[in-house]
């Protein structure tokens, strides 16, 4: 097996962010993520004035994943935001949920990549809700 450790594949669960909600707006399925509730989300603008929403993340290596994941991804609340929002070390876990997992990506055909990216590697039972 030839694994390229410079490329990874995985999923990010946006619904794991605080107060994230699924809704329908103008007939479109949408996810609403309140910025004030999530200090890891940073709103800014590009030079042209277009809005940007950035999610600060933290990635750590892990082991013994039953799905072959090698790292987990958390929302990251840096020191400046902890101080700005008054978040104590005890509260930090609530604002820094694990939002995903990743593993090395094995290159292959476009079809294989599409199949790999559509797989959900989670700990939910087989008949559980996996998305819309």
DSSP class of residue 36 equals T
Measured distance CA(104)–CA(3) in Å, rounded: 7
Q: Which residue has the higher pLDDT, 3 or 22?
A: 22
Q: What pTM value is reported for the model? A: 0.70
Query: What is the number of helices (H) and of strands (E) in the chain?
Result: 3, 8
Which of the four pLDDT bands, split at 50, 70 and 90, describes residue 63? confident
Which pLDDT score is estimated for 27?
Answer: 97
Which of the four pLDDT bands, split at 50, 70 and 90, describes residue 120? low
Measured distance CA(63)–CA(65) in Å, rounded: 6
């Amino acid at each position: 097996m030839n694994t390229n450790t410079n490329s990874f594949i995985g999923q990010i669960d946006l619904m794991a962010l605080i107060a994230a909600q699924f809704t329908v707006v103008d007939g479109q399925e949408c996810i609403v993520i309140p910025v004030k509730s999530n200090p890891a989300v940073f709103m800014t603008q590009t030079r042209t004035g277009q809005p940007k929403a950035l999610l600060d993340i933290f990635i750590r290596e892990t082991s013994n994943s039953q799905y072959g994941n090698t790292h987990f991804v958390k929302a990251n609340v840096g020191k400046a935001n902890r101080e700005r929002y008054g978040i104590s070390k005890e509260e930090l876990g609530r604002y820094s949920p694990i939002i995903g997992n990743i593993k090395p990506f094995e290159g292959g055909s476009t079809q294989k990549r599409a199949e790999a990216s559509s797989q959900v590697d989670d700990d939910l039972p087989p008949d559980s809700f996996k998305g819309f």
